[in-house]
Structure 1
Amino acid sequence: MQLVLSENWTLTSGRDLPTLVRWAREAEDAGFDSVMISEHIVLDPDAGAKGLMPNPREYALPGNQAPFTPWPNSLLLLASIASVTTRLRLAAAATLAPLRHPLLLARKLGTLDLLSEGRLIVLPTVSWSRDEYAALGVPFDKRGQLLDEHLEIWELLWREIPRDVRGEALPLPERLLRTRGPPPNGPRIWFGGSRMHDALTRRLVRHGHGFNPLGRPTSEDMDS
């Protein structure tokens, strides 16, 4: 069983973080397997361009989210949950890697994985919101390339001896420092989406440990 902590479920406010942490602890006691926390960094008008959901407990999809929705920092919230649980897996869903520097994000994810004693699952993705990229000054049309660079850098930092790397989309220092200590495995990485496509398949085969469908994909979506 999985507990999704999200403002869209409206069971509590997205600003009531102590309650979310308490629920996670209670979920572990009740036998839940994991908690999943999604994220946005900035939401602007295109977040609700397709209209808001008539039922706020429906699965939030691209274009139907209220721009004023509070989105707490998912990694900080998961760190708080890690401190009060011992078994619950922690899923950082929809981690928007291209909107962060890869070295900084790798260090934060590696630290959280160590703090939780290997319970972290990361779902790196790119976001569908052009407004979100514009607000942070990141080119939207390079989001796929940026994600691929993150994945390659994470592989080096967490699983191999550091070597010189220079990305095309992001300027990187020549020497990368190891983010986590031995054993150098890093968090487990899942990918998500409504259907499989070439880029997703390539990332899943090279870097992934699992697939998390977006919403309720049909069998045709999964076969395409």
Structure 2
Amino acid sequence: MDEVQRFRQALVAWAAGGAEAGAAAAVARELAGGVVRTVVLVEGSSDQVALEALATRHGRDLGAEGVAVVPLGGATGIGRFLDVCGPSGLGLPLAGLCDVGEERHFRRHLERVGLGSGLTRAELETLGFHVCVADLEDELIRAVGAEGVQRVIEAQGELRPFHTFQGQPAQRERPVEHQLRRFLGTHSGRKALYAQALVAHLHLERVPRPLERLLAHV
């Protein structure tokens, strides 16, 4: 296990609390500021995969640069992670990515830990926190285009399951972009799989703004 991964696991255990929290906090403190210089808080593993894949396409290795991309396991966990990473915890530089529906959680807890007051969207971005509209999958589908996404699905051997999904009564009348977005979230692990595949397929001049700005920030 590399040191950034060790830090990430320790941070998750510390934020979760419980019997292991003390030992996990010690490991996180040991690695903070040395091995790890910045923490990027994202909602889930698909966000982590997308950001790291985009960095690779730009010739960057975030782990080697000391940037730890940490999935929260859901946006409501942002408060616990800011408590352990923020000014009253490790005091590390922070950045992040969230869906537009979860922006209020991020804003409220950033303000609570002293990183701003009455934060606007622009002020969130200045802090390094960026918002996907409506979510990462929606951003990537719009950037790649519906036809391009279907080519990626075909390359993954899932075009027939997608066509079957399109034929479901609840999906038949919906726009193909909506069908694609729902399809990417139907099975566990599919979002992360397609996050990586779509970023690999993406023209770099069409990178979704939240991903582009976040990567530039770190």
Scaled by the length of structure 2, the TM-score of the pair is 0.34
Scaled by the length of structure 1, the TM-score of the pair is 0.33
Greater fraction of residues in strand: 1
Tell me which of the two structures has the higher relative contact order, counting C-alpha pairs closer than 8 angstroms and 6 or more residues apart. Answer: 2
